[in-house]
Structure 1
Amino acid sequence: MKAAVFFDRDGVLNEDIGYLYETAKFSWIPGAREAVKAVNDAGYFAFVVTNQSGVARGLYKEADIRALHIWMTEDLAKVGAHIDAFEYCPHHPKASVELYRTSCTCRKPESGMITKIMSRFPVDPARSFLIGDKFTDIEAANGAGIRGYLFEGPNLQHFVNSHLSTG
């Protein structure tokens, strides 16, 4: 069993500009790549769990999310960092795209994305935590039986380092 850090994406790893799916508009939060590397170097799993209702709203496709996550993976590799798994929820209860119109267990504040990862990887919940920028992220963490920390900036590396020693 291994400790893990679950990162929300928009507002934690990258600037939240609303419905981000294009690499040209992507901007890392200060210290984000270094934070992921610190998690890797500490021997923790690094995961991303992100609501992506832009798919349900018809603003972009699931393939766009996957392409952005591939780009993020390649960019993180430049600093020797990696994400062990990405999970995203494309659903929304009021979706304009009928295929994605549902109240699911993966959309935060539900904990389905976290528990799905925990069923695929040997995660030690007692030593794991989530970093989010909204209270719904913290709720999802609590629902999965892990701690949640609210990130309000400015530097993710400093924030992560302060919790790795206690996490």
Structure 2
Amino acid sequence: MKKKAILLDRDGTINVEKDYLHKIEDFEFEKNVVDALKIFSSLGYTLAVVTNQSGIARGFYTEDDLIKLNNYINDRLNEYGVNIEKFYYCPHHPEKGIGKYKVECQCRKPKTGMLDAAIKDLNIDVENSYMIGDTLADIDAGFNAGLTSILVKTGHGMETLEKLGDRKVEIYNSLYDFALKLK
């Protein structure tokens, strides 16, 4: 049976936006995010992260650095009874990448490679699932993959509001505010 899921952007949605975050000591949850994720879990949603990480492509940090931080995030969430099923990430950038990371890939949002992989791997029911993020890339990736896109005003969300154009998207102050709506 297919599962309902919430695919989440990471930076600016789950954690406070800090350019090219890769150090555990710089990590900080957005306000009430743990409570929001607890609500989603209690409602039976499978949780996964889909995140562009061009800092890898630019040589600012390594894939190992990213994996360590993602594991740390999940370990912290596990303490509250929340589990991110899987972290998907795009380490590429078509212009600013270095070496093997300078490619035009299918995984970098707004393309749907990461979302498609999550949908397949986790057996996601697209019609009853969401993509939540703070940028147009997040919103468009969700739409492009057939999910319902939600914009949060945390991170780059306020700037994104001005760029939405005619996109039909629900907008919430935070992940927690959306969780309360679903509850």
Q: TM-score range by the shorter chain?
A: over 0.9
Q: Distance in 2 between matches of 1:35 and 1:90?
A: 27
Alignment of 1:83-162 (within 5 A): 83-153=84-154, 154-162=173-181
CA contact (8 A) 2:54 2:97 kept: no
Q: Distance in 2 between matches of 1:10 and 1:96?
A: 19
Aligned equivalent of 1:72:
73
CA contact (8 A) 1:126 1:146 kept: yes
Alpha-carbon displacement from aligned partner over 1:84-122 (angstroms, at most 9, x marks no partner): 111000000013421100111100111110001111111
Alignment of 1:4-19 (within 5 A): 4-19=5-20
Q: TM-score, normalised by structure 1?
A: 0.94
Aligned equivalent of 1:61:
62
Alpha-carbon displacement from aligned partner over 1:37-65 (angstroms, at most 9, x marks no partner): 11111111101000000000000000011
Q: Distance in 2 between matches of 1:34 and 1:23?
A: 21
CA contact (8 A) 1:91 1:101 kept: yes
CA 1:98–1:120: 2 relative to 1, 3 Å: same
Aligned equivalent of 1:24:
25
Q: Distance in 2 between matches of 1:121 and 1:70?
A: 19
Aligned equivalent of 2:82:
81
Letter in 1 for 2:57: A
CA contact (8 A) 1:4 1:123 kept: yes
| Unpaired stretches in structure 1, ≥5 consecutive residues | none
Q: Distance in 1 between matches of 2:132 and 2:23?
A: 23
CA contact (8 A) 1:31 1:158 kept: no
Number of equivalenced pairs: 164
Letter in 1 for 2:147: I
The CA RMSD measured in Å over matched residues stands at 1.1
| Unpaired stretches in structure 2, ≥5 consecutive residues | 155-172
Q: Distance in 1 between matches of 2:137 and 2:115?
A: 13
Q: Distance in 2 between matches of 1:4 and 1:142?
A: 15
SS class of match (1:119):
helix
SS class of match (2:57):
coil
Q: TM-score, normalised by structure 2?
A: 0.86
% same residue: 37
